[in-house]
Structure 1
Amino acid sequence: MLQLALTILIYLIIVIPVGRYMYHIAAEKHTLGDPVFDRVDGVIYRLGGVNPHKGMNWKQYALALVGTNGVMVAIGYLILRIQSLPFFNPNGIGNMEPTLAFNTIISFMTNTNLQHYSGESGLSYLSQMLVIIFMMFVSAASGYAACIAFIRGLAGKSTENVGNFFVDLVRITTRILIPFSLVGGLLLVWQGVPQNFEGNVVVKTLEGTFQVIAMGPIAALEIIKHLGTNGGGFLGANSTTPLENPTILSNLIELYSMMLLPGACVITFGKMVRDRRHKDDDDDDDGKGGVSGGVMHSSRADSQRGPRLGEHSLTASIYGREGRSIFAAMGIIFLVGLSVCYWAELQGNPALANIGLSQSMGSMEGKEVRFGIAQSAMFTTTTTSFTTGTVNNMHDTLTPLGGMIPLLHMMLNVVFGGKGVGLMNMIMYAILAVFICGLMVGRTPEYLGKKIEGREMKLTALCIIIHPFLILAFSALAVATDAGRAGITNPGFHGLSQVLYEYASSAANNGSGFEGLADNSYFWNITAGLAMFFGRYLSIVIQLAIAGSLMKKRFVNESAGTLRTSTFSFAVILVFVVYIFAALTFFPALALGPIAEHLTLWG
């Protein structure tokens, strides 16, 4: 318990300054690296024909994001199909099969990194660099760019401009992902993670047998895998192997790397909301919009415009705390999940106790002794809460309730999430929460000083429903067809858990798996690819549409009946709304999977 508490405490200390730095990047404020980064960015803008001063509305932004990603999908697919060429291919890896190439390129472009192949035997070094590592940077930057545009829409004063996608993509890559990756990559090399272009090495073991040791640019992939909440491993066994994760220090570096930017996004959200609202209040105080032709507006117009003169400091402070309530709600759900997962793994397997084996160490099946149960539970909960997908233990061997936590957190997809997705999804639930509370008191709901009306609620409901629909619909298709059932290697309750996990991981753009599933087939490659695609882009487009709708509305004054969304009590309300929605949508499936397996095992 102490090491878990210290791990979380250190994270809280480092995430705050990173959140402030990310805010400066998003708001285009001055940073120490600007003299260098401005020149680098300028060259990229000229080569790409980008006008950095031209803004976009939400439709243009969404189209630029989807279109850019689409072009990269086509190029990446081509590389995977011709990777057998003798160029950066010392191990003679052959071309990737068409449906597997489709699944792989969709997986990495959507930041999912679901792998139906083993990296050491399925990819050439050229593919690892030009497809896998490159996509890890671009997909993460695309997600964070969408999140920043979404925040601008919610908190911004402009009625159209949510920023420029290409500018956001470049700035996030050059000022956040690349510098952080360089530092983190060197730390991993220091801890023993390989970084070279040599072919695989064959060694003679102490037992007298021969073993193939993978080589290659592992450290370069490893750091952006976590920093960009990607998760796809250079090796099939991912971060359970000493080559990707050799020590407890490398484990902490990877752990903090995947937690850092999603948490920082929430802090950035709070600061941008405060900053934009403060600017709006200052404009009102200066008389902009408050005087027309030398005549002061009526009190009714004044109430529509926003806070009155002298109220801006208090209002800015209130809105600056919006990020804290969201962070608190995410933190509560994370801690609940971590506690359950850790407790469940400590209980061990009663089947072993029945035959006289000690369970004092808990369930160590599928876990590395250098990490133990505590850090395995921490890594498991983190990778599925921050939607990274990397693993330092085999999730398929978790106890039923221990395995239910990562499954549930992917189903929720709001616990910090990866590349800003968790924040965007949690705000959908925040809008739903203020709508429900507004119905209780008979008021039009408000969020961030904007009225939530029919259009926003329809889009919010659609966005929330898409995720469970993808998971449950594809799972039903899998268990109802011969092609789907052919991949299920575990009969009974655990087999259903494997199916649910596969599609929850795909729809949440997570990428981890129960790995007992025989998923490299036409059926699983195509259906999982579709779940990843729709889970990524439908949500982003709808969320940008909501932001575009809200940014056109005028700020309204708070009143006695306004629900304060910057308080801890709202964070608790938000947690209950999330759990109630999860119970209504996913409990029947969970009851037939991990819960039934747990009751059978302990019965």
Structure 2
Amino acid sequence: MSSTAAGWLQVALLVLALVAVHKPLGDWMAHAFTTGPASPPGQEWPFLPTGSGHWRVERLVYRAVGVDADTEQRWPVYLRSVLAFSLVSVLFLYLLQRVQQWLPLDNEMAAVEPGSAWNTAVSFVTNTNWQGYSGESTMGHLVQMAGLAVQNFVSAAVGIAVAIALVRGFARSGTDRLGNFWVDLTRAIARVLLPLATVAAVVLVLGGVVQNLSSGTDATTLAGATQYLPGGPVASQEAIKELGTNGGGFYNANSAHPFEGPSAWISLFQVFLLLAIPFSLPRTFGRMVGDRRQGLAIVGVMASLAVASAALTSWAQARAGGAALQLAGAATEGQEVRFGGPLSALFGTATTLTSTGAVNSMHDSYTPTGGMLVLANMMLGEVAPGGVGSGLYGMLVLAVVAVFVAGLMVGRTPEYLGKKLGRREMTLASLYVLVTPVLVLTGTAVAVATDTGLSSLLNSGSHGLSELLYAFTSASNNNGSAFAGLSANTPFFNTALGLAMALGRFLPIVLVVALAGRLAVQGKAPVTAGTLPTHQPLFVGLLGAVVLVVVGLTYFPALALGPLAEALA
């Protein structure tokens, strides 16, 4: 089978798998976050616990934390809970790294250096999983399991909780309550992430991914030399790393390492894992607002952008310039040659369209056009389908902007799902759109303007600028992948990228939760002849255009100086 045919088959299998899980997984998540004393009629499922709707294990968690699970929170309280929980998580993970030499299963690793420990703590708590270190030579098994893997669960659950809070803002009327963050966090872990990750880990083990507590083995090669083979609880971390769109690799080579990605079908399965929840959440949105067509419209925009990006990236890699590359059939440097170029392009597209950051090939070695496309995926806000939770709330904010633009065209007060979008709502949405570009472009400018920033580059010219631009784009959008030509484990980048990750995660969350609060207190505006239908193809096209124009063109000058200039040269 040719490489192109194999690529089309992989895409077809992936699409079929995502379609198969979209409805059941989306419906399950909608039920998980609406079960309780105030469950909407018709959403009670008979085979689950009745009464309060809380599972026994969940009630134990609430008692341990001291939370009244049946009391809902106003948006400022919900937001303070998100921020307080995340701050404690950063402090705990930082401390765990600093004392790992005294912990069991330390693999004789020293304490992580303070700057790197700060950067890593912020990275994993913000669902970025940017790694300026090599995992197998820096982190002991206990830190990997109790620190990094746990944050893979809870950071993904925080993103889901914030998305659900915004959906409730659209679904509810005349209330100042958005739910209970601690309940949403617990249910996201217990009812969604943990069961799915358990099944995924078993599949990965069956597929050959390593899962043990061994510190490593010395093996004799065919040439008679000795090679050290590191072990570890890889499959369990790999499962939630992809499922929670986290991306941090157990090994430095991430999913390109044969212990993390031993075969083509495992690599494709990992792509499925990182797309499954983000592509199912629009179904959850549709059910919770009482109109499944709205969810179909959102997932339609996501799918259209994803398909276009995957096709363009595959084309860019297959149509590489130069006689040698054409004879090879594609640009093969840095690619996963075990499985063929198309799977590398598909993985690269999926990981940058979500906030995952896992890689099975080196994005720095992509063609200039291919590298520009995976960079542009992040610049669009990672909304096609985006990270777990963050992709949905990002797309819904852009939907608010799209409705506002449509309202300007026809001279009507914009409405979305019966909620009027006034000055305050649009201020919050506009600030959301502007936060990430400000962080990306400011951080890149500071790095370019300082000797400290430039000294970490292994390349000069436009490609060097692309490496800096990619680093701050990845950090600010909470992605975590990187162009490999940047040595980022320095005091400057540990600090600067850590700040970009923290601000890029929590400033948008502040704006989203505030917007949810503004929407929830409103009543429902009646549908009239002048109301814009937001479930029809016209709105799907408008929303896609807003994503490309309002968000994408913000970065065009920077792209023109970096990857575009390199491609034209």
TM-score by length of 2: 0.94
Matching of residue 320 in structure 1 with residue 292 in structure 2: yes
Equivalent residue number for residue 238 of structure 1: 254
What's the counterpart of residue 452 of structure 1?
421
One-letter amino acid matched to 2:82: L
Letter of the aligned partner of 1:430 in structure 2?
A
State the alpha-carbon separation in 1 of the partners of residues 244 and 220 from structure 2.
Answer: 37
1:4/1:374 contact within 8 Å kept: no
- The aligned residue for residue 515 of structure 2 is 546
Corresponding position of 1:467: 436
Mapped pair 1:71 → 2:88: yes
Per-residue deviation, residues 142-174 of structure 1 (Å, max 9, x unmatched) = 111111111111211351111101111111111
Post-superposition Cα deviations, 1:472-495, rounded to whole Å, max 9, x if no partner, equal 010000000111111111111111
CA distance in 2, matches of 1:581, 1:44: 43
Give, in whole Å, the separation in 2 of the partners of 1:93 and 1:323: 48
Tell me, in whole angstroms, the C-alpha distance in 2 between the residues paired with 1:470 and 1:496: 16
Report the equivalent of 2:338: 370
Residue equivalent to 1:14: 21
Equivalent AA in structure 1 for residue 309 of structure 2: G
Which structure 2 residues correspond to residues 390-469 of structure 1 after superposition, within 5 A? 390-413=358-381, 414-469=383-438
Q: TM-score, normalised by structure 1?
A: 0.89
For 1:50, the equivalent position in structure 2 comes to 67
Query: Corresponding residue for 2:313?
Result: 341
Change (3 A) 1:567 1:216: same
Q: 2:338 corresponds to which letter in structure 1?
A: R
1:217-254, CA deviations, whole angstroms, 9 ceiling, x for partnerless residues? 11111001001110000000000011001112211221
2: distance between equivalents of 1:97 and 1:438? 53
Superposition deviation, residue 6 in structure 1: 3.0
Q: For residue 30 of structure 1, what is the aligned residue in structure 2?
A: 45
Q: State which of 168, 174, 193 in structure 1 corresponds to 2:184.
A: 168
In structure 2, relative to structure 1, the CA distance for the partners of 1:358 and 1:457 (3 Å cut) is closer
Q: Look up the equivalent residue of 2:18 and give its one-letter code.
A: Y
Q: Which residue of 2 aligns with 1:332?
A: 304
Residue by residue over 1:153-212, the C-alpha shift from the partner in whole angstroms, topping out at 9 and shown as x without a partner, is: 121135111110111111111111111111110111111111111111111111222211
Mapped contact 1:387–1:510 kept (Cα < 8 A):
yes
Report if the CA contact (8 A) 1:62-1:541 is conserved.
Answer: yes
1:66-113 deviation per Cα after TM superposition (whole angstroms, max 9, x unaligned): 101111211111111111115111x31111111111100000000000
Structure 1 residue 33: Cα displacement: 5.6
Shift of residue 366, structure 1, vs aligned partner: 1.0
Counting only pairs closer than 5 Å after superposition, residues 84-483 of structure 1 correspond to structure 2 as 84-89=101-106, 91-274=107-290, 319-350=291-322, 353=323, 358-413=326-381, 414-483=383-452
Deviation (angstroms), 1:371: 2.1
Q: Distance between the aligned counterparts of 1:184 and 1:4, measured in 2?
A: 20
Distance in 2 (CA, whole Å) between partners of 1:126 and 1:446 is 50
State the 1:333 CA deviation.
Answer: 1.0
**Does the residue aligned with 1:142 lie in a helix, a strand or coil?**
helix
Q: Please report how far the alpha carbon of residue 117 of structure 1 lies from its aligned counterpart in structure 2 after TM superposition.
A: 0.4
| Aligned-residue offset at 1:594 | 0.9
Local SS of the residue matching 1:321: helix
Match of 2:41 in 1: none
User: Does structure 2 conserve the Cα–Cα contact (< 8 Å) formed by 1:348 and 1:359?
Assistant: no
User: Once the 2 structures are TM-superposed, how far is the Cα of residue 357 of structure 1 from its aligned partner?
Assistant: 6.4
Structure 2 equivalent of residue 315 of structure 1: none
Cα offset, 1:365, TM superposition: 1.3
Distance in 2 between residues matched to 1:34 and 1:106, nearest whole Å: 37
Q: Match of 1:527, as an amino acid?
A: A
Q: Secondary structure at the match of 2:55?
A: helix
User: Is 105-114 or 144-153 further displaced after alignment?
Assistant: 144-153
Distance in 2 between residues matched to 1:132 and 1:173, nearest whole Å: 15
SS at structure 2 position matched to 1:18: helix
CA distance in 2, matches of 1:228, 1:130: 16
Counterparts of 1:134 and 1:357, CA distance in 2: 43
| Aligned-residue offset at 1:566 | 1.0
Aligned to 1:80: 97
Amino acid across the alignment from 1:435:
F
Unaligned 5+ runs, structure 1: 275-318
1:37–1:175 contact (8 Å) kept in structure 2:
no
Q: Would the aligned equivalents of 2:476 and 2:500 in 1 still touch at CA under 8 Å?
A: yes
**CA RMSD of the aligned region, Å?**
1.5
> Would the aligned equivalents of 1:347 and 1:359 in 2 still touch at CA under 8 Å?
no
Cα pair 2:18 2:279 within 8 Å, conserved: no
Do the aligned partners of residues 501 and 33 (structure 1) sit closer, same or farther apart at CA in structure 2, a change above 3 Å counting? farther
Runs (5+) with no aligned partner, structure 2: 1-7, 36-43
What's the secondary structure of 1:84's corresponding residue? helix
**CA distances 1:315-335 after superposition (whole Å, capped 9, x unpaired):** xxxx33111111111111111
Asked whether the equivalents of residues 340 and 401 of structure 1 are also in contact (C-alpha less than 8 Å), the reply is no
Could you say what secondary structure the match of 1:212 adopts?
Answer: strand
2:539 to 544, 566, 570: 570
1:402, distance to aligned residue in structure 2 (A) = 0.9
What is the match of residue 519 of structure 1?
A: 488
How far 1:583 moved relative to its partner?
4.3
- Taking the aligned partners of 1:155 and 1:238, their CA distance within structure 2 comes to 40
| Structure 2 Cα separation of the partners of residues 332 and 225 of structure 1 | 25
Whether the 8 Å CA contact 2:217–2:231 is kept in 1: the answer is yes
Give the counterpart letter for 1:160 in structure 2: D
- Whether the 8 Å contact between 1:24 and 1:31 is mirrored in structure 2 is no
CA distance in 2, matches of 1:321, 1:12: 16
Moved more, 516-525 or 45-54: 45-54
Deviates more, 1:33-42 or 1:330-339: 33-42
For this pair of structures, how many residues does the alignment match?
551
Deviations 1:11-54 (A, max 9, x none): 22222211111111111243746489711111111121111100
The answer (yes or no) to whether the contact 2:325–2:331 under 8 Å persists in 1 is no
Contact 2:173 2:524 survives alignment (8 Å): no
Counting aligned pairs with the same residue, the percent is 43
Change (3 A) 1:203 1:34: farther
CA distance in 2, matches of 1:190, 1:491: 44
Give distance in 1, aligned partners of 2:132 and 2:333. Answer: 23
For the 8 Å contact 1:195–1:217, the answer to whether it is kept is: yes
Would the alpha carbon gap of residues 561 and 358 (structure 1) be closer, same or farther in structure 2, given more than 3 Å must change?
closer
Query: In 1, Cα distance between the equivalents of 2:305 and 2:357?
Result: 18
1:580 aligns with 2:549: yes
Aligned CA distance change for structure 1 residues 483 and 543 (closer, same or farther; 3 Å): same
| Inter-partner Cα distance in structure 2 for 1:81 and 1:8 | 43
* Separation in structure 2 between the aligned mates of residue 568 and residue 494 of structure 1, nearest angstrom: 39
**Residues 218 and 357 of structure 1: CA distance in aligned 2, closer, same or farther (over 3 Å):** closer
* Contact 2:325–2:332 (8 Å) recurs in 1: no
Task: Give the Å deviation of 1:343.
Answer: 0.2
